[in-house]
């Protein structure tokens, strides 16, 4: 089966959403947040600089956000950390990555932010279904609002606890959306793992893969629309 062009799929959905809402239907779309609407490498750099300051190291001196990795292990390798420091950095990353005050360092991904705005303009309720936790939700709301996105009426959906399994949580939330709305145009994320998980659990919402350097290598269903986006 040939790859389904994600951009074309989304463009067609925007037209359908407008038609449906004009006919009085309730329509929604849904977005992941980290590395879908925002690039977390800015956060990674801030975490790295804090690590340097606390440990008297200089791994991140002169580095840019674009030089960061997708997780602690990749980032440690990219900056040439010693095994001892890499282990310590991994623990530091785990403590700091989902602290809400660090979200402000993220970089905006303009293409997906504009898509969210277009969906809202077409009449859809735009939901943000994120693996960030409810305890940090005020920071997520502030970040999305700073990007010009509407978070009224509880459109931000956060994971209750960090230990909750992300695919199961997202599948359950997408099922709730499908029950509340006449049509849900899409769930878009960069994560192959998340899409594979929600597809396995039969979430009744079309997943769209934002294929970037962050996506991973988990297999997704052949009819998954793919939007290739360069975030070098």
Which tens digits make up the pLDDT trace of 36-78? 999 999 999 999 999 999 999 999 999 999 999 989 999 999 9
For residue 161 the two structure tokens come to 């606890």
Specify the pLDDT at position 152: 79
Return d(Cα 84, Cα 70) in angstroms, integer: 20
Asked whether residue 102 is domain-assigned, the answer is no
- Number of structural domains the chain divides into: 2
Specify the pLDDT at position 150: 87
Indicate if 124 and 12 belong to the same structural domain.
Answer: yes
For residue 171 the two structure tokens come to 């599948």
Indicate if 10 and 123 belong to the same structural domain.
Answer: yes
Domain limits at 90?
41-96
What does residue 203 show for φ and ψ, rounded to 5 degrees?
A: -65, 125
Measured CA to CA in angstroms, residue 94 lies from 16, 73, 87 at distances of 41, 11, 11
Asked whether residue 1 is domain-assigned, the answer is no
For residue 71 the two structure tokens come to 């997780």
What's the pTM value of the predicted model, to 2 decimals? 0.94
Indicate if 140 and 25 belong to the same structural domain.
Answer: yes
Indicate if 46 and 26 belong to the same structural domain.
Answer: no
Indicate if 35 and 58 belong to the same structural domain.
Answer: no
Indicate if 47 and 120 belong to the same structural domain.
Answer: no
Indicate if 65 and 79 belong to the same structural domain.
Answer: yes
Indicate if 164 and 211 belong to the same structural domain.
Answer: yes
Specify the pLDDT at position 232: 66
232 residues of the chain, pLDDT tens digit each: 668 999 999 999 999 999 999 999 999 999 999 999 999 999 999 999 999 999 999 999 999 999 999 899 999 999 999 999 999 999 999 999 999 999 999 999 999 999 999 999 999 999 999 999 999 999 999 999 999 998 877 899 999 999 999 999 999 999 999 999 999 999 999 999 999 999 999 999 999 999 998 999 999 999 999 999 987 6
Indicate if 87 and 118 belong to the same structural domain.
Answer: no
Asked whether residue 101 is domain-assigned, the answer is no
Indicate if 140 and 203 belong to the same structural domain.
Answer: yes
DSSP, collapsed to helix, strand or coil, labels residue 155 as coil
Question: What CATH number does the domain containing 203 carry?
Answer: 3.40.50.1000
Specify the pLDDT at position 1: 61
Return d(Cα 80, Cα 192) in angstroms, integer: 28
């Amino acid at each position: 089966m040939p790859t389904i062009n994600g951009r074309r799929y989304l463009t067609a959905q925007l037209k359908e959403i407008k038609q449906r809402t004009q006919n009085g239907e309730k329509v929604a779309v849904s977005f992941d947040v980290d590395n879908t609407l925002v690039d977390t490498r800015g956060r990674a750099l801030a975490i790295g600089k804090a690590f340097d300051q606390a440990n008297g190291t200089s791994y991140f001196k002169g580095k840019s956000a674009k030089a960061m990795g997708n997780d602690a292990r990749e980032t440690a390798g990219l900056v040439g950390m010693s095994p001892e420091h890499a282990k310590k950095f991994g623990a530091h990353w785990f403590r700091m990555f989902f602290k809400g005050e660090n979200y402000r360092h993220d970089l905006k991904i303009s293409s997906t932010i504009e898509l969210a705005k277009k969906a809202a303009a077409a009449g859809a309720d735009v939901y943000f279904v994120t693996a960030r936790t409810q305890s940090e939700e005020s920071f997520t709301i502030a970040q999305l609002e700073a990007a010009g996105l509407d978070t009224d009426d509880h459109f931000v959906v956060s994971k209750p606890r960090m230990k909750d399994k992300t695919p199961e949580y997202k599948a359950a939330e997408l099922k709730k959306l499908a029950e509340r709305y006449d049509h849900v145009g899409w769930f878009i994320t960069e994560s192959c793992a998340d899409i594979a998980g929600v597809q396995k659990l039969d979430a009744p919402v079309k997943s769209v893969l934002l294929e970037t350097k962050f996506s991973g290598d988990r297999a997704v269903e052949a009819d998954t629309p793919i939007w290739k986006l360069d975030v070098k």
